[in-house]
Amino acid sequence: QWSKATGGRIYFKQVTSAAESDIECHFAKDKNGLPDKNANELGLATTSLSGYGDIVHSQIHLLTREPSGPNRNKSLSDNLFNQTALHEIGHSLGLIGHSDKASDVMYFMVSIGECQNPGLSARDVSTMVSLYNAPQPVRDMQNDEQISAVSNAGVDGQVVDNDDYMALSQLAQGR
């Protein structure tokens, strides 16, 4: 969805080894497969930076089963897994904060029983477009509608959308 929403400015291809990758994806059935076994999260993204602040490599760790509660060890629903993956990919692409709007994929949490329609909101798309200066128009992936996004580049490469959605670093500028 990130690729489609940005008009192909961001794209993904599968490679044969981790050494060739920009983003590594790791899948775990329980918290023992996560870097922080005590975290109460379904996923985690970590990013390595160059000396200039550019993203050079990211790792995404995703749980495939519910870690706690009455459905412990049950496979995550497709919607919940997709929502978590979109969120963590957003971090690996340079979205360093969380949204305060529950309808955004970059919202800080998702309730296991409430994930109905995983998809990028217009705000998610606008923020990524601002970061990567993607060609316009772009798409609202939740409603499959064409939208316009305006880049709001601020001081020292910081980018913030009109709703103070999240501050972004210049990590991915120029990529």
- Higher confidence at residue 62 or residue 32? 62
- Measured at the CA of 167, the angle between CA 142 and CA 90, to 5 degrees, comes to 45
Mean pLDDT of the chain: 74
Among the listed ranges 58-62, 72-76, 96-100, 143-147, which one has the minimum average pLDDT value? 143-147
Give which of 87, 98, 69 is closest to 165, Cα–Cα.
98
Q: How far is CA 148 from the centre of its chain?
A: 20
Edge-to-edge strand order for the sheet containing 23-28?
23-28, 55-63, 43-49
pLDDT digits 0-9 by tens, 7-53: 888 888 999 988 899 999 999 998 888 888 777 788 999 999 888 88
pTM confidence score: 0.74
pLDDT digits 0-9 by tens, 51-60: 888 889 999 9
